[in-house]
Amino acid sequence: MTVYRSPYPVPGVIWASLPAPAFLIDGAGRFAAINPAAETFLNVSSKSLSGVPAFDRLHIDAPMDEALARARANQSPLFINDVDVTTGERPPVQCNIQIAPMHDNPEIVLLLISPREIADRLGRSMHVTSAAKSAIGMAEMLAHEIKNPLAGITGAAQLLSMGLGAEDRELTDLIVEETRRIVKLLEQVEQFGNLRPPDRRPVNIHDALDRARKSALVGFAANMTIVEDYDPSLPATYADPDQLMQVFLNLIKNASEAAGRSGGGTIRLHSFYDLSLRIRHRDGPGKALPLQVEVIDDGPGIPAAIANDIFEPFVSGRENGTGLGLALVSKIIADHGGWIAVDSIPGRTVFRVSLPVASKEQVHAAKQESR
């Protein structure tokens, strides 16, 4: 029998090339080895981790000790899907987890983490890409150029209608109405490009939520039930009050449009505190984003075909949608150093906005100013 000898030390190469974070965990629950993808995932070197209790660094929202014990006892692999994994450095990532006992050492367990697709689209959502920026620039220019002739068309149609009978006037009315619709759409495009930098001050999140809720209930959300589930003790965030209200309004509008299609639905506005959420910016240390607001609806969920791109401008799953609502939300949240995440299955869609707390100095400065 000839044994094929690989020119490479295969196991080591495979370990290093695995694109997903992989960990070996010993019988006492400590890291025995972590691969380069796992180093990136945890943002530390493997050396500094060996011997460290695994679940001190890797917060997995599942009974992991029990799962590892089961994999060891049964000597068979185990899968856990859709759990939140937090590494202390950034917001939780939804992952699928695979656990397998090693064949040559039943005490050691291999743990593989695959961040779910939805998680990576959140990462991408945070910045409006440069392609999107030039698309917005062109759309703005077109919007401006198209508005002028449209005014002429509306005017001409109105003049024409004066000499017409009722039946033909229906047609000129149609021209006027449809042109108005286009003008409105173009104005939205222009507004998107013109968003001013945020004028930030300490803001009570619930005030912004309340303004959005009231405005929604007298308009597009009139047939919806909006449930408030607030933690009234939340401290102020540091934001532009109008832009913050715009964010919540857009999220409530989307929820109403999705959930209200069959004549009504329920939107839950949920605020709470979660100190474990941190975001790491390219420049500077991690920043805590402990204020959480979730807009939850019981609609059909985000259409799979566009799920990866909903935060991009001009992506819409609705017949008359411009696809600018979420692009605007994402831009505002990014300008505020915050974070937005979505999780959607039929019957339950959750948009979660995470924001920083206003510092003592910011609150103090605002008080001085208002004197």
Q: Which residues bind ligand ATP (CB under 6 A)?
A: 250, 254-255, 258, 297, 299, 301-303, 310, 315-318, 321-327, 349
Q: Under the phi-then-psi rule, with left for phi > 0, alpha for psi from -120 to 50, and beta for the rest, what region is 88? A: left
Report which secondary-structure segment, H or E, holds 18.
none
How far is Cα 273 from Cα 29, in angstroms, rounded to an integer? 30
**At 3, which helix (H) or strand (E)?**
none
Within 8 A by CB and 6+ apart from 53, the residues are: 28, 29, 30
Report what 237 binds from ligand ATP, Mg ion, none; CB cut-off 5-8 Å by kind: none
* Phi and psi torsions of 201, nearest 5°: -155, 170
Phi-psi domain of 207 (left: phi exceeds 0; alpha: psi -120 through 50; beta: other): alpha
Residues 6 or more apart whose Cβ sits within 8 Å of residue 181: none
From the list ligand ATP, Mg ion, none, partner contacted by residue 37 (C-beta under 5 to 8 A by kind): none
- The answer to whether residues 44 and 56 touch, using CB atoms and an 8 Å cutoff, is no
Q: How far is the CB of 270 from Mg ion (least distance, A)?
A: 20
Q: How far is the CB of 258 from ligand ATP (least distance, A)?
A: 3
* Binding partner selected for residue 101 from ligand ATP, Mg ion, none, CB under the kind-specific 5 to 8 Å limit: none
Does the protein bind Mg ion through residue 254 (CB under 5 A)? Answer: yes
Binds 340: which of ligand ATP, Mg ion, none (CB < 5-8 Å by kind):
none
Q: Which is nearer to ligand ATP, 29 or 300 (CB)?
A: 300
Smaller CB distance to ligand ATP: residue 294 or 297? 297
- Name the binder of 297 from ligand ATP, Mg ion, none, CB < 5-8 A by kind: ligand ATP
Residues 6+ apart with CB under 8 A from 292: 270, 271, 272, 273, 274, 277, 352, 353, 354, 355
> Which residues are bridge partners to 110 per DSSP?
24, 100
Q: How far is the CB of 305 from ligand ATP (least distance, A)?
A: 9
Number of residues near Mg ion (by CB under 5 A): 2
60 or 310, CB closer to Mg ion?
310
Nearer to ligand ATP, 187 or 207 (CB): 187
Query: What is the rounded CA–CA span in Å between residue 288 and residue 354?
Result: 9
What burial class does residue 229 get, using C-beta atoms within 10 Å of its C-beta: 0-12 exposed, 13-18 middle, 19+ buried? exposed
Selection from Mg ion, ligand ATP, none that 302 binds (CB < 5 to 8 A by kind) is ligand ATP
Q: Closer to ligand ATP at the Cβ: 36 or 300?
A: 300
* Binding residue (CB under 5 A) for Mg ion from 91, 260, 325, 356: 325
Identify which of residues 211 and 287 has a Cβ nearer to Mg ion in the complex. Answer: 211
Q: Which is nearer to ligand ATP, 180 or 318 (CB)?
A: 318
Burial grade of 184 (CB within 10 A; 0-12, 13-18, 19 or more): exposed
Q: How far is the CB of 185 from ligand ATP (least distance, A)?
A: 9
- Rounded to a whole number of angstroms, the minimum distance from the CB of residue 85 to ligand ATP is 25
Instruction: Choose the one of ligand ATP, Mg ion, none that binds residue 216, judging by a C-beta under 5 to 8 angstroms depending on kind.
Output: none
Q: How far is the CB of 138 from ligand ATP (least distance, A)?
A: 17
HSE toward the beta carbon, residue 17, CA cutoff 13 A: 7
Question: Of ligand ATP, Mg ion, none, which one does residue 133 interact with (CB within 5 to 8 Å by kind)?
Answer: none
Cα separation of 75 and 299, whole Å?
A: 42
Number of neighbours of residue 365 by Cβ within 10 angstroms: 14
CB closer to ligand ATP, 89 vs 335? 335
Stretch that binds Mg ion, among 216-224, 250-258, 267-275, 280-288 (CB under 5 A): 250-258
Name the residue nearer to Mg ion (CB basis): 230 or 314: 314
For residue 79, the tally of other CB atoms under 10 A from its CB is: 11
Residues found near Mg ion in the complex (CB under 5 A): 254, 325
